[in-house]
Amino acid sequence: MSKYKSAIFDLGLTLIYSPRVKNFINICQRFGMYPKEEDVKRAFSFTDQYFMKNRPGVLGRQPKEFYMEYLAVMFAYLRLDPDIKDFYKVLFEECPPRKEWKLYDETIPFLNKLKEHGLKIGLLSNWDLSARFILDKLSLTDYFDSIIISSEIGIEKPAKEAFIKSLESLNVHPNEAFYVGDNYFDDVKGGNQVGLKVFLLNRTDKPCRFKEGNFKEINSLMEILNYI
């Protein structure tokens, strides 16, 4: 039997993913650029971390509000210098960011394992108003006992109020739950503010460079079963 009563999750890049790496590389090639897949993965990871540290909450908004700047950081990391406006235009015409989402192979089996352990499952995500449509489309909605979306409550991670609201909706104390997310700034710092243990999901080959906080870095959801 688990020592926890509840598990709370981030959504994007934790339970679901976008085929953004493949789309980005395909468009790069049309512009005469040929970055390696691993380099693009690292660039996305770096850019996500950059925005979450320096522009809290922005990644939960509509991509058209910030994606020109996002691409600028991506290309700087990759040391590429295309016409960003032209690249942006092609990207949004053919494969807009966040249009397509897929489940990680382990997501459903892992959530079922948590249900078998008797845990209540919550979702706390910075996301625009498309979140519930995506959850329904991927048949995820019924797995959650509580769903808290930043655009619906007007509060974004890492604000402690967002985590408190999630805990209250599940009727659990911080020491009875853990949080799972992919970002140090939003998820570790945010969750730790209210006393939550955090599992930091890192599916890249580069370890998190930050060490402070009550968190455990993992490479897959299934690893969590060793700690609960």
How far is it, in rounded angstroms, from Cα 56 to Cα 157? 8
pLDDT for the residue 94:
94
pLDDT digits (tens, 9 = 90+) for 18-62: 999 999 999 999 999 999 999 999 999 899 989 988 988 788 788
pLDDT digits (tens, 9 = 90+) for 120-139: 999 999 998 899 999 999 99
pLDDT for the residue 1:
65
Is there a single domain that holds both residue 222 and residue 155?
yes
Answering whether pTM is above 0.75, one says: yes
Is there a single domain that holds both residue 199 and residue 148?
yes
Is there a single domain that holds both residue 43 and residue 12?
no
pLDDT for the residue 205:
78
Is there a single domain that holds both residue 139 and residue 197?
yes
Q: Which residues of the chain are modeled with pLDDT < 70?
A: 1
pLDDT for the residue 11:
97
Please name the residue that has the structure tokens 């089996």. Answer: 109
Domain that holds residue 179: 6-16+101-226
